[in-house]
Amino acid sequence: MTAGEVQRAYGARAAEYAEHLGVMEAVAAPDRELVLSWAQTLTGPVLDVGCGPGHWTAYLHEHNVEIVGIDPTPEFITHARTAHPGITFRDGQAERLDAPDGSLGGVLAWYSLIHSEPAAATAALVEFARALRPGGGLLLGFFEGPVFEPFDHAITTAYRWPIGELSALLQQAGFTVTETHTRTDPGVRPHGAIVATRNSAHRGRVTGIRRRPGGS
């Protein structure tokens, strides 16, 4: 899937997505606690990358986090601006943050890279490292699995990542992984989260990705 195809797929179902998933009541309590506790450790502005309907951006803003939401889907940005006035939302992509080097205190990428092949995911992680100040924080949420593989997501093809392989990709991009989390709730896909800090010069090379074609 190209970035444009993913954007169009979400645009076609943006209203439905926002209604059912674009509210904090739809978010699991452990996820709310993890993201908020992480955000409250940061110093400097935070970018919610792939903010979708804007509920995470608004939630952190309500807890006094300096935050801006970006998303490549215009329908999501329109919804977010209407639903959460007074908070900044703008068009933007993970691979092109439009932020000066070292200007961010944190990047939240909560399920923002689930439709990205390894090369695109690497480009995004390298861009996050560029925009984050040294010591700045990154929090990734994603679908976890034993091998990197595609599956049929409700919107469009998505990917599972082994937490070890995604951690290695982060290290290659210039991050130190400080925490990893996995959780499997009844009736939902396994969930993963990685907390990392920006350290040395970043690189963007993918090695050793194990793939299971046509997985589900």
Cα–Cα nearest to 176, from 137, 119, 123: 137
pLDDT computed for residue 201 by the predictor: 56
Q: Would the pLDDT of 200 be above 70?
A: no
Q: Would the pLDDT of 117 be above 80?
A: yes
Mean pLDDT in the chain? 87
Q: What is the arithmetic mean of pLDDT over 106-111?
A: 96
**What are 20-53's pLDDT values in tens digits?**
677 788 889 999 999 999 999 999 999 999 999 9
**What are 9-20's pLDDT values in tens digits?**
666 676 776 776
SS (H, E, C) 133-196: EEEEEEEEEEEECCCEEEECCCCCCEEEECHHHHHHHHHHHCEEEEEEEEECCCCCCCEEEEEE
- The three-point CA angle 57-41-167 to 5° equals 85
Going along the chain from its start, the domains and CATH numbers come out as 3-109+125-157+168-198 (3.40.50.150)
Residue 156 pLDDT level (bands cut at 50, 70, 90)? confident
Q: Would the pLDDT of 92 be above 50?
A: yes
